[in-house]
Amino acid sequence: MDVIAERADIDRAVSGKTVCTVFAEAVAKWGDRPALHWKEDGEWRSLTWKGYRDEVAAVTLALRSLGFGPGQFGLIMARNVPEHVIADLGIVHAGGAAISVYNTLAPEQIEFIANHSEATVAFVEDEGFLAKFLAIRASTPHLKHLVLVRGSAPEGVLSWDSLMAKGREMYAASPADFQASWKAVGPEDPLSLIYTSGTTGPPKGVMYSHNNVTWTLESQTRSYREHGRPVGGDTLVSYLPLAHVSERFTSQWHGIFNGHDVWFCPDPNLLLPCLLEAKPTLFVGVPRVWEKLMSGIQAGLAAEPDETKRQMAQGALSAAISAYRMRRDGKPVPEELAAGVEKAQPLFMLLRSKIGLERCTYAVTTSAPCRPEVHEFWAAIGMPLYEVWGMSELTGPATQVPPDDHHAPSIGKPIAGVEVRLGEDGELLVRGGNVMVGYYRDPEKTAEMVDSQGWAHSGDIAVLDPDGHYRIVDRKKELIITSAGKNISPSNLEALAKSSPIIGQAVAIGDGRKFISVLVVLDPQVAPLWAKAHGIPAVAMTDLADHPLVVEEVRRALMVANTHLARVEQFKRFTILSGEWTPESEELTPTLKLKRRVIHTKYQRQIDAMYAEPPGGHSVDAVREAAGAAAD
């Protein structure tokens, strides 16, 4: 079936459907099966699909009693907890549209979103989040109702318990009112706004209709099935912010569409114990998560006190990586190597069990490019990472690496019914039922993003390989342009910079500068173990960043990286930072992407020092640097 016919077939399959009808179908099919799991008072609790429906019905009717209904927006600021998705669906079943906002937003950012959307109700998880809303209440005139999920609600704020008590009473008295409410919702009605991060100006509200979501769910599910992966009844862990489309689409909407069993992890720092409890069969991670899990396994192997066991395990892993590289490059794997890797499979399964992924049959990486060595590691231990590429403006996914056709690096092939082509400058263009309705109340920005023929302009530069897989090779808006006018992709440089396991994070610097430098952050798990193995006594990370052996190891890694780069792209100076970058320290987004503007501002002194005379930081190659200075 060609893509146009496939799109038409998907159109027919989802005609008349809404997220409300999909939820009703889920309850009818899986009523008594567990739908949601969460930890409360140290114990795991669960809610069946019927119980989930009853909670949503209570929120829906309670909201209707407050005057909330069609055409209105509701905000949610909460971690990954059941009340988050229950409130979301309650807003939607009442005829409104839900807006999840990042927990890290400052009050003035919340104020902008509340006023831009003219939201009339907000659900907040705790008193800390509530304080942000109370600080802006006087300047958000449309925001009539605040609902506090946990804690003691002050005067003028509703408590979750009182709202639910009212809603349950109404539902018990007249279940038909709930049915009437959600059945009045149509496929083209607004379902949600996802606000972009606003790194290049005020955040934009990406608007989805119900049809956007049901169409994309049908499309991606077909793609899985067409390529041999049964879909339905997976166990998932929800831990990335629900304000991001990746988590919202995967654990909430995809969970409803395919009857997944979702376990909530409210704090990403508690991901490992949650994985060990849930043992997911499908796991979605951003590259930084895969890097941290990999580092944890590597650190565990390095800490093995029995030298024979340690060397055997590390040798088996090295052999498996070698075998993977040969298969990837189309080379035959020697029988002896293949036999050794096969013999090591129980070891690799044991390593996966240490992080709760022994049941995982489909591992996804998304949201940013993943380094080659990360792909090699996970493929070697029997769990290759399948990349899914998309954007908020595309309701999440647009391409994915097929389950039966693993390639890395690759963003795979278009999902069912989605057209993809390359523009004249190589920009990846996408058209399909997944393309957003538009940016809310911003027709000019919408026209810049989606052209008159319906093609969404991604801003990513890609190539199409002979095997039909696309690869992202650049980012139009994230280029470093040196003072000599050379355009350089920072993400490519940063992936190469992290070739040493002690380097956890890196940011390439050079926009408007004469040469490329790099800020390097030590990996808090691996660096201390590396130091111990090299005879460095236990010291604080701040001292480790200045230790001559550590500086030399980073220099070695950057010199290796330079062998893969054109001269104009090569690193000339570096500065080692000791503190790990996190969303809390503000260098990363809630989905663990680099916030380049924040990093440039926060470390302006260190950056300027690397370009001063005499320069600060460390030289990657003092001899070459001196020769380059003479040439300049």
Residue 241 lies in a domain: no
Of 439, 462, 477, the position where a domain reaches its end is 477
Residue 609 lies in a domain: yes
Of 477, 505, 531, the position where a domain reaches its end is 477
Q: Which residues, in sequence order, are bridge partners of residue 453?
A: none
Of 442, 477, 512, the position where a domain reaches its end is 477
Residue 473: φ, ψ to 5°: -120, -10
- Same domain as 460, residue 313: yes
- Average the pLDDT over 196-212 and give the result: 81
Q: What is the span of the domain harbouring residue 575?
A: 479-631
CATH classification of the domain holding 400: 2.30.38.10
Average pLDDT of the residues of the chain:
93
- Same domain as 447, residue 419: yes
Residues ≥6 apart with Cβ < 8 Å to 184: 70, 95
Instruction: List, for residues 87-141, the tens digit of each pLDDT value.
Output: 999 999 999 999 999 998 889 889 999 999 999 999 999 999 999 999 999 999 9
Q: Which residues, in sequence order, are bridge partners of residue 75?
A: 99, 122
Whether 606 has a pLDDT exceeding 90, the answer reads: yes
Position 512 confidence tier, pLDDT thresholds 50, 70, 90: confident
Question: What is the biggest distance separating any 2 CA atoms in the chain, rounded to whole angstroms?
Answer: 85
Q: Please report where in the chains the tokens 């060595």 appear, as a residue.
A: 373
Annotate 182-215 with b (16+ C-beta within 10 A) or e (fewer).
beebebebbbbbbbbbeeeeebbbbbbbbbbbbb
Whether 629 has a pLDDT exceeding 60, the answer reads: no
- In angstroms, what CA-CA distances link 629 with 278, 512, 565, 622, 623? 56, 17, 19, 10, 10
pLDDT at site 632: 44
Position 231 confidence tier, pLDDT thresholds 50, 70, 90: confident
State how many domains the chain has.
2
Whether 627 has a pLDDT exceeding 60, the answer reads: no
* 3-state SS, one letter per residue, for 548-602: HHHHHHHHHHHHHHHCCCCHHHCEEEEEEECCCCCCCCCCECCCCCECHHHHHHH
- Same domain as 564, residue 431: no
Name the residue among 160, 104, 97, 99 with its Cα closest to residue 132: 104
- Same domain as 547, residue 464: no
CA torsion angle 219 225 227 229 (round to 10): 120
321's tokens: 């990586």
- Same domain as 529, residue 399: no
Q: What is the pTM of this model?
A: 0.85
Instruction: List, for residues 342-380, the tens digit of each pLDDT value.
Output: 999 999 999 999 999 999 999 999 988 888 889 999 999
- Same domain as 464, residue 348: yes
- Same domain as 465, residue 570: no
Residue 345 lies in a domain: yes
